[in-house]
Structure 1
Amino acid sequence: MLKRQSNGMMEKNLSYTPYDGSSTPFTIGLLQLDPARWIEPDGDLSYHLSKKKKLFAEHGERVFRAEPGTEQAQQEIIDALAEYLPAHHPAIYRRTGSLMEMAGHTVDLADDRSPPLLSAGFLVQDDLVIMRKGDNGWRIAAAFLAFPSSWSLADKFGKVMDEIHAPVPDFAGGSRNAGLINRMFDNLSPDRFVVRWNWSVNWGYALYRPASQPAHETDPMQPRDAFVRVERQTLRKMPVSGDILFTIRIYLDPVTALAGQPNGKELASSFADQLEALTPEQADYKGLLRKRDSLIAMLRKMATNPATVG
């Protein structure tokens, strides 16, 4: 049964655990995705949509930007979502004319006062980013980014992939990973959906984590207060515009929740292994230099006796 916590999050079994050894940090790690699993709404849908509306009202261009000339591409995306969501999640999404209803929220799909990508973002928990190819490579041409993971839309908007990934260890321009990403974007076909995973650690619960709000590694929170921030990222090339839609879904799980999973010991052990394997540059990028050792110690204890952590 789902239970709302005081921070607004729903208590539930962990949806995804890429730190279990199935996904290696700081690699591209693309996997084929069944198109039927493109978007995966869950019991947090209403809460996430409410947060998105509040964040846009408060921050405006910090969470939504779009280049002139992307309107048709934006419309292609909302049309794709309007077709997909009620077909694959009929228990959650119901369309009547131009109105889409879901989890206590309603979006007018034909509202010409709202950019189509903005309306599309109010349909799903995922953030939506349009990548468009220009003379210098693939750039962010439009985005509804309500839940960034320590980056800023204002800083990255209009930049190409090499510039976007410049601060990421092993992904800077000229690196093997940078070349692979650009080739993958070029070669992605409209009938192929792909997915990849990323994770980080937050010292506290916050969906909205822009670059101006770091992971608070210097605050007095203890390892038991940490949250694993899992990103489920999907990529698909839109058949009409040729742009690539990049979706980012955030899952925030207390680290202590690992102890309650059927494979909790194994999860804690593999997560500790991945933390230990990070280079100093990688750990610094993830904001884990100061608290990594204490977090690893807690995970090792959890792997031995989960009942002692809580």
Structure 2
Amino acid sequence: MDSPRQTFKTARGHTYSLVHIPPRDSRRPTLLLLHGFPSHLHDWVHQTGYLAAHGYGVLAPDLLGYGQTDQPSCPDAYRLKLMSDDIADMVRALVMVAGHPKRSTLVGVGHDFGATLLSRAAAYYPELWHRLVFLAVGPPKLGTPFDVDSINHMTRQILGFELLGYIKWLATDPQAATTLESHAQAVMNLVFCADHGVWDEWYRPLGKMKEFCEQERRVAMGAWYTADLQRQHLECFARPGGYRGATMWYTMWTDNLFAEDEKELQEFRIQTPTLFVGAEGFAQQRDLLAAWCEDLTCREVDGGHWIHLEQAKRINTLIQDFLE
């Protein structure tokens, strides 16, 4: 990602670090790329290069709490409504003409927790979007409460392990961020592992991610997470405060701090044309999104969670085909 970073300060005073590449001409839309956990704007390198080469605009920020963007210390700052406000400020200043939305100018692309943020920004600011693309994660409709303990209890009975044990740790242990920062190489090794089944043993079950990190374990990493990406990842996260903001997203989620903002939008349905691309857990994630999306196109690819890295060429082609 050769384009220089720039900064943008939102109306509520948070400064975002981002890469912005204008489209080749006004007929081409700009794609807003929203990453997940634990990621940052460099993990969109394959999409950024491809899209820019084909004349599209790109807007790729480090999201709040990540990388070179501000890291507020209060979980309330990470409410999805407030971060959606930040996105709208950014888009209106950098993408829209004279501050007036043009529906043909903006496509949102979200992965993991970035997909959840995109879904909420689509609800709070539906006039902004020309197309929406969700990768790997199909977010639940607005107003859906999140009960991590119930999910973990149920999946323990069905699967033999807790599906979201890592969320319980990240959200509730005040030392989790420090542990991740101190063992960032082990975290990266686990998160970007080559064998997707490793997550069922060491990532998802309650307490196992912490154990993996503290014991400095190693597994084979995916070849698709290159040496350059590894270096940039460690520069982002292997430092004091590297994970502090990222874990705040999970505290916000488990504490349901988003719920009050979504009370009046529980019946909202996405009417913007939408693409969902998934791999593992495809049907479950697809169905979550299909329950509240009016115009949904679905595609399944081989791979794990990091499909935009593992299957970059395929993802780029699917996105371009969906736009054109």
**TM-score of the pair, normalised by structure 1:** 0.26
Return the structure number with greater strand share. 1
Structure showing greater radius of gyration is 1
